[in-house]
Amino acid sequence: MSTHTELIQNLESLKLEKIKAYISDYLDSIKNQEITITEALKHLTDKEIIYREESAANTNIKVASFPFVKELKDFDFDFQPSINKKEILDFENLRFIENKENILFIGTSGVGKTHLATAIGIAAARKRYCVYFISCHDLIIALNKAHQENKLADRIKYFNRYKVLIIDEIGYLPVYKTGANLLFQLINKRYEKFSTIITSNQPFSKWGEIFADNVLANALLDRLLHHSHVINITGKSYRIKEKLLKSSEDSD
């Protein structure tokens, strides 16, 4: 067996996929004195590191349960002039995570709240932060099930594994008092420890009605808003925009 074959086998055993893929090209360049051994090793290890970082990022994005993969570069800021584009893009630096701050997107249906929340979550996942996306309805179902099985503490601990927890659609469905109390317990445990991103179609003044308890709603808001960025979106629905565009195309 040749030394080259043994080298390829070693690279396979070590799972150095990118080095294995490019090693022959670099050996030829070294042979032709186009590059030094040190430069070749540097380039090969760079490729391997980039590949592993991208693989880890893709895995993080997959396990985060995002409803879709959309980034901030895909968002039409011109259609939503009420949004401060600079402020939103600044979230991609992820300082809010290190500062344990929350982000709350408030606006009517279709204005892009979930897109923005997801895009920020994807930016965090790409940087190897643990992120999880869940609707408020599904979250409360999970917490209530754990409560009934006397496993609430474990379930809250599970959700607190995530540096960024995205809770989508608060206010789309009413939340009974038991569910509101369970959600409060989770938010209270995350308070000043982790970042939570919220989307809601209801203003804060209506949260007492959503949770059927003004005192509980105020306590929940107190913890969410203490260290937070609140983004109020007052523009039109993207779904209406898409329908108008489709109608225009059909008429042409």
Same domain, yes or no: 80 and 52: no
Instruction: Provide the 10 A C-beta neighbour count for residue 14.
Output: 11
Give the contacts of 8 (CB within 8 A, at least 6 positions apart).
20, 23
Same domain, yes or no: 118 and 35: no
Instruction: State the Cα–Cα distance between residues 105 and 114, nearest whole angstrom.
Output: 8
Residue 52 lies in a domain: yes
- pLDDT of res. 240: 64
Kindly list the strands in the beta sheet with 164-170, ordered across the sheet, starting from the edge strand earlier in the chain.
131-135, 164-170, 195-200, 102-107, 228-233
Where does a domain end: 16, 35, 63? 63
Same domain, yes or no: 143 and 217: yes
Give the contacts of 118 (CB within 8 A, at least 6 positions apart).
66, 67, 68, 69, 70, 133, 166
Tell me which residue range forms the domain holding 223.
72-242
pLDDT in tens, the chain (252 residues): 789 899 999 999 999 999 999 999 999 999 999 999 999 999 999 999 999 988 998 999 999 999 999 999 999 999 999 999 999 999 999 999 999 999 999 999 999 999 999 999 999 999 999 999 999 999 999 999 999 999 999 999 999 999 999 999 999 988 988 999 999 999 999 999 999 999 999 999 999 999 999 999 999 999 999 999 999 999 888 766 555 555 444 545
Total domains present in the chain: 2
Tokens of 247: 């109608």
Where does a domain end: 46, 63, 80? 63
Same domain, yes or no: 13 and 79: no
What does the pLDDT look like over 167-209, one tens digit per residue?
999 999 889 889 999 999 999 999 999 999 999 999 999 999 9
Instruction: State the Cα–Cα distance between residues 56 and 52, nearest whole angstrom.
Output: 6
Same domain, yes or no: 40 and 145: no
Residue 249 lies in a domain: no
Residue 27 lies in a domain: yes
Where does a domain end: 33, 63, 93? 63
Residue 1 DSSP one-character state: -
Same domain, yes or no: 188 and 209: yes
Domain holding 209: CATH number?
Answer: 3.40.50.300
